[in-house]
Amino acid sequence: MGDLCAGRVAVVTGAGRGIGREHALLLAEHGAKVVVNDLGGDAAGGGSDLSPAQEVVAEIEAMGGEAVVNGANVADFDAAGQMIHQAIDTFGSCDILINNAGILRDRMVFSMSEFDWDAVIDVHLKGTFAPTHHAAAYWREKVKAGGEAFGRIVNTSSPSGIYGNVGQSNYGAAKAGIAAFTIITAMELVKYGVTVNCLAPGAFTRMTSDLPGFEKMDEETQEAMSPRWIAVPAVWLCSEAAQNVTGRVFDVRGEQLGISEQWHLGPSTTQPDDPADLADVMAGLM
C-alpha cells in the first residue's frame, strides 16, 4: 500500500463497478478512507442494488482500509449533500471528490426521446454539479473558519464529449459540459486550495464492452484497457503532489495518458459587414 492519500477522506460516485470501483480501491490502497457511492442501477440507469458498493467496501476492509456504502442518486441535490456530509460525519472530513457516476442511453438525435435526453444529462451533468456544490461549500466554510486549504475534485468527461461520437448527442453534450464545468470551477475554487481536474477515459468496462471496437477485444488488449489504468492519474491528482495542477482535462485511454487541448482559438480575421461577402472569408478560415 502507498501513502499518496494517507489520512484523507474521499467520496467516489459510481464506485460499485468499473472505473469507479478502481478509483475507490486505489484510493484506499494509498491510505484514504472512502465513501463508496453507487445506486446500483443498470447501464441505462434502471433499478437499484447496493450489493456492488457493499462488495467494494468489503474489499477495502479486507485490505485493512476503512469505507462505507452510500446509495444516493447523485442527481438528487439534497441526497448529494447528505452523501458529502456522510463522509464528514463518519470520518471527520471530506477532502476528495471523484465524480464518476454515469449511464448510457444512446440514440441518434432524431430517435432520442426527451426522457432519454433528460436522464443522461441529469445523471452526468447535474450528478457532477450537485456533489461538487456541497463539497465546495464545505471547503469554503472550512477555510473561512481557519481550517486547512485543501480539496480535490476529479470529474469524468469522455472522448465522446471532447471529440464527438455518433449516437451519443445526450452523453457527449453532458460530457462536454463536464469538461467546461471543470475549467470554470477550477478558477472559482483555487483560492480555497481546491484543485479541479477531469479525466476523459477510455477503458474496457460494463458500459463499453458492447461498443464498436470493444466487443471483440482479446484478453491482452482488455488488460491494456483495464479501468485500473484510469485510477492511476486520478489518485495522483487527489494527492498533495498535484497541488499546482488544476483546470486540466486528461485523455486517458488504458495505459496511454495525454492532455486534451481540443478547444482553442484557431485562425481569425476581420469579417465583412455583408453576409454575401463571407464565403471567401470562411474558406480562408477553414
Q: Which of the residues are catalytic? A: 158, 171, 175
Strands (DSSP E) along the chain, which ranges? 9-12, 33-37, 67-70, 96-98, 151-156, 194-202, 249-253, 256-259
- Contact in structure between 172 and 146 (CB atoms under 8 Å): no
* Cα separations in angstroms, 231 against 112, 176, 202: 32, 21, 12
Nearest to residue 246, comparing CAs of 150, 174, 171? Answer: 150
Give the CB-side neighbour count of residue 198, counting CA atoms within 13 A.
26
- 8-state DSSP, 50: S
Q: Are strands 249-253 and 256-259 parallel, antiparallel or unpaired?
A: antiparallel
Q: What angle do CA 214, 219, 222 make, to 5 degrees?
A: 45
SS3 66: coil
Nearest to residue 19, comparing CAs of 43, 3, 44, 2? Answer: 43
Q: Please name the amino acid found at residue 96.
A: I
How many angstroms separate the CA atoms of 112 and 200, rounded? Answer: 24
Q: Please name the amino acid found at residue 212.
A: P
- The helix (run of H) or strand (run of E) holding residue 131 is helix 127-144
SS3 32: coil
What is the rounded end-to-end Cα distance, in angstroms, of the chain? 52
